[in-house]
Structure 1
């Protein structure tokens, strides 16, 4: 069993179409929750804009794939509540964090889908911290990286261009069972 799964998922054309569609909507700054405090915008923790993507067919496609690739055997009865599209511009980043704990204690699996071609930006690597060395996720446009939500991960600073990704979390009925 691997700690992470990172494989091709969507075509470049599908990724481009998603970026084109959500890029026309107004994004908003991402709220950050630190140490159980109320969520706030904290630019020292994350700099990215978030766009909602309410498309049941996309949610269903992701959910079906994740359920068939749940190598960890997690109970995932809580479904996929939403998919968010994150937009990082020059200077954008995400400090190391987990997606699980506190008010999010039912998150079991996290995913990130690379929507941008890697040649369209510099930096912006998704880094998963597991073991003695960090692991860089596949940056190929259309790749999906799936990992347990307790995994410490970060997005390195984007130093040029724009990085787009689709992210979300699959829930269980209870905390890790």
Structure 2
């Protein structure tokens, strides 16, 4: 077990109709998400992704902004300043053993260096896929994130996490990063 301050769970962050609308509206716009630092790396990540912003989904983005403010105020108390990246929808397909190996969301680029808080919302029903667990590993103790549709999990962007191989069906998720001055 690791401290609750390393994650926060928000059940029913998005309702069923919103999850369906996001999947239906963006599933035709997905393309290769297996690039890591600009190079094909399907051994690290095998998924399809697309992006959306507040112009395309104003109600969803308002909900995300409100949740981020509440969770950050009550759990993390990070110095957050902006959403420097659009929200991402990812699909991990069982027939391709979709996955994303252990990684943190803090990276080498200017934007990735400023990621402080990661939010992932499960868009698929848990019975629509097998495998595909979102797992966190902040201190050598693996934690399986809830699989219930519409549930959000928040964690510091430096925490190691992965999407375990999806072995059947399709797992859809929404990820949003929140930015501030880099951690020191």
- TM normalised by structure 2 equals 0.87
Question: Which residues in structure 2 correspond to 1:1-177 (within 5 Å)?
Answer: 2-8=5-11, 9-23=13-27, 25-30=28-33, 32-33=35-36, 38-54=37-53, 55-70=57-72, 71-79=75-83, 81-90=85-94, 91-103=97-109, 104-172=112-180, 174-176=181-183
Compute the RMSD of aligned alpha carbons: 1.5
Shift of residue 31 of structure 1? 5.0
Once the two structures are overlaid, the 10-residue window that deviates more, 58-67 or 133-142, is 58-67
Contact 2:34 2:48 in 1 (8 A): no
CA distance in 1, matches of 2:59, 2:9: 22
Structure 2 unmatched runs, 5+: none
CA distance in 2, matches of 1:74, 1:12: 30
CA distance in 2, matches of 1:157, 1:112: 17
Question: More helix by proportion, 1 or 2?
Answer: 2
1:58-79 Cα deviation digits (max 9, x unpaired): 2232022111111221111123
Moved over 4 A (4+): none
